[in-house]
Amino acid sequence: MNPTNKEKLLQYGREVLALELYEAQKLPGRLGDDFVRACELILSTKGKVVVSGIGKSGHIGKKIAASLASTGTPSFFMHPSEALHGDLGMIEPNDIALLISYSGRAKEFNMILPTLKSMNVPVIAITGGKDSPLAEAAYSVLDINIEKEACPMGLAPTSSSTNTLLMGDALAITLMRAREFSEEDFARSHPAGSLGARLLNHVRDIMRTGDRVPYIPETATVFEAMLELSRTGLGLVAVCDSAHKIIGVFTDGDLRRLLLKNGTLQDPIKQVMTSPGYRLPADWKAAEAIKSLHDHNISAAPVVNAHGELVGALNIHDLHQAGIS
């Protein structure tokens, strides 16, 4: 490709972005009483937000419904055509309809609006047609009007669809913040993601248990500690008293340092262990555990219950395998 064609491609791309940014930067100034009314209505409802739109508005509507649902506002998407063939039965009197149409004149909505009115279901409109039938029927109108589409023919929704997406994000995130929706709340909606793994899992859910936990009695020798280190491969061994409470830890590094100082494998472990040694509480969240291991510059630790008794062991690799980083 010759340089002239490359320059044209870059020019076209930059023109699209510039036009969409130009239209988008007008949106913050348009937020006013209607936006507040929409938020207050949704926050006060006991039902769901039913999002609907057709064409590009429908594609973006699906994203808005998903964003609302994952940030604390129960919501689902309903296709207008399907609504006219039975799916209107999914709407209940306590619900709110969020209808998206740039022109505000989608014929499907003209047929849906009377039913919503008869059910006393309030309508929030995301539209650029402030004088349209949709806007006139709406309790609140969120204005996404543009001067110009980024499409040079003015046909493909570009600037208008970007404004729709941004207005949906503004609504969803404003509601999330108003509800004081937390990371833990978000994680419950995303249990399979890395955030869910970090915030929903506790140390007790991930730790090694049973024979996989390296420990020796306080009467043991360095030789017995070395055998336990080799058996489990965790890099440390917990030293426990007769009540199974940890009194110290001994690591691979401790063993190397002992032998370099001419220590012997017959030395009592109590004389060379690190006391009291670091340990992780079983009821900590996984996110707390990995941060603490990093902060202490260690890769593994024994796990204790509320009474200080050894109940498990955990290392960085276990956390990474659980999707926590």
Annotated binding site for Zn(2+): 79
Provide the H-helix boundaries in the chain: 3-24, 27-30, 33-44, 56-70, 80-83, 107-118, 133-137, 159-178, 183-189, 194-200, 203-206, 222-232, 252-260, 269-272, 286-295, 316-321
Best CA proximity match to 302, nearest among 239, 257, 241: 239
- Count CB atoms within 10 A of the CB of residue 47: 14
Task: Enumerate the known binding-site residues.
Answer: 79
- Residue 202 zone, left/alpha/beta (φ > 0; ψ -120 to 50; rest): beta
Please state whether beta strands 215-217 and 246-251 pair in parallel, antiparallel, or not at all (unpaired).
Answer: unpaired
Our CA dihedral for 157, 159, 165, 171, rounded to 10 degrees, sits at: -130
Which residue pairs from 229-236 have beta carbons closer than 8 angstroms and sit at least 24 positions apart in sequence? 229/255, 232/313, 234/208, 234/300, 234/313, 234/315, 235/299, 235/300, 235/315, 236/300, 236/301, 236/302, 236/313
Q: Which two tokens stand for residue 184?
A: 């833990």
